[in-house]
Structure 1
Amino acid sequence: MAEVRIDKYLWAIKVYKTRADATDACKGNKVHINGGDAKPSKSVKPGDVITVRKNEVTFTFRLINTIEKRIGAKLVPEYAENITPQEELEKLRRPIETFFLKRERGTGRPTKKERREMDDLWDRYFFDSEDVYGEEDDEEEDY
């Protein structure tokens, strides 16, 4: 297999949890191949450099081998080399300033709208770091 779609590849090496997320990232201009924009159907081949913007961090990967099926976290280094600069990875460890959800005492439970807004904040600032630190999921793999 010499070439594979970028959305499928990013899903297979666990950069995104779903292929739909990978496709949306490509459409949203958050993925670049060798410095150029990447549409979801763009093919990648070994040697390509892929840049992915997730939240505040820009991850950089060098494609080693192509793959179409999702693999375990331990096998990812056989297919992609994480060449993200250290200063980008440090952004993950930096405490998020002014991110405290404070509710007035006695206001009761949050409404459905307030809860969705809080969830959006959490999703924007906190995400699985499994793909960055090489930690394995507790979830079972879909084959």
Structure 2
Amino acid sequence: MEKIRIDKWLWAARFYKTRTLATEEIGKGRVQVNGQDVKPAREVHAGELVTLRQGPSIRTVTVRGISGSRGPAPVAQALYEETPDSLAARTKAAEQRRLAPEPALSIDRGRPTKRQRRELDNAGDPWGQRWSASIKD
């Protein structure tokens, strides 16, 4: 087998869990072959450069082998070789994510407790009771 559809190759190389997901990502323009946007039916050959986006990371791989069936992970990893630039960018992005502060830690106060809510209600009511528009108390 010398050539195969790009969506099937991405699925066989375990970049995407299903061929449908691979087809959707190709349709959204997140996969390029040799720097050009492709359609799912485009045939990919050994030696071509495939750039794909998976979440926040962009991977650039060289096609080393062709397989029409999805096999175990070691076999799938033999189908491609990631470029050194792509590996360096992914490790740099992972390090930045690791060192980034936790977004939840920037929140000073969360939702008030029942006791704090009562204190807020009483602090906003100078007369010690709730205001009412009705005549009777």
Whether TM exceeds 0.5 here: the answer is yes
In structure 2, C-alpha distance between the alignment counterparts of 1:71 and 1:105, rounded to whole Å: 52
The secondary structure found in structure 1 opposite 2:58 is strand
Give identity over the alignment, percent: 28
The residue identity in structure 2 corresponding to 1:61 is V
**Aligned residue in 2 for 1:60:** 60
Deviation of residue 105 (structure 1)? 5.4
1:88 to 2:90 alignment? yes
**Aligned residue in 1 for 2:104:** 100
Larger radius of gyration: 2
Would the aligned equivalents of 1:57 and 1:92 in 2 still touch at CA under 8 Å? no
Matched positions, count: 107
Higher relative contact order, chain-length normalized (CA < 8 Å, sep 6+): 1
| Residues 1-143 of structure 1 mapped to structure 2, 5 A cutoff | 1-83=1-83, 84-93=86-95, 94-95=97-98, 97=101, 99-100=103-104, 104=111
The secondary structure found in structure 2 opposite 1:71 is coil
The residue identity in structure 2 corresponding to 1:2 is E
The TM-score, its normalising length taken from structure 1, stands at 0.66
In structure 2, C-alpha distance between the alignment counterparts of 1:13 and 1:40, rounded to whole Å: 15
RMSD of the TM alignment (CA)? 2.2
The TM-score, its normalising length taken from structure 2, stands at 0.68
Q: Which runs of 5+ in 1 are unaligned?
A: 108-143
In structure 1, C-alpha distance between the alignment counterparts of 2:101 and 2:23, rounded to whole Å: 31
Runs of 4+ in structure 1 over 4 Å off: none
Q: Which runs of 5+ in 2 are unaligned?
A: 115-137
Would the aligned equivalents of 1:57 and 1:89 in 2 still touch at CA under 8 Å? no
**Aligned residue in 2 for 1:128:** none
